[in-house]
Amino acid sequence: MLTNEMQKKLIEQAVEAWHKAYAPYSGYSVGAALLTESGEIYEGINIENAVYPLTICAERVAVFKAVSEGRKKFKAIAVVTKNGGTPCGSCRQVLAEFGLETLVLIADTSGELKNTYTVAELLPQSFGNADLEQS
């Protein structure tokens, strides 16, 4: 369960991260704040590149930062965009790798919560390690 206070804090940190996004090509900035089971928060921003496939999303930046620090269990992630957009398919798959029950808080840049989902709701019938053949 995520308290209202923690939800507000995550969204506030995602809004702060949104201001740091590097989106000179699309103009679509994204900020994220990921809460681990142990209580740490990792921020992420989208970082675009002139070679478009090298761009990385805010959600994946936050997850990769957390995992690089040894954190692999997440409670929630707040995602902030100007229009309250949801994570892309790649981000949904990366989040699914670490838990389908992770809460995804969708907010706009004013900090208004637009919707809440679980990763499972955003990526039904997800592909995971159970789908891989064990040798």
Structural tokens at position 27: 């103009």
Helix (H) or strand (E) holding 11: helix 4-18
Choose the catalytic residue: 59, 101, 112, 133. 59
Of 83, 125, 120, which Cα lies nearest the Cα of 102?
Answer: 120
Catalytic, 48? Answer no
The residue type found at 73 is K
Asked whether the beta carbons of 7 and 105 are under 8 A apart, the reply is yes
C-alpha neighbours within 13 Å on the C-beta side of residue 115 = 11
So which residues are the catalytic ones?
Answer: 59
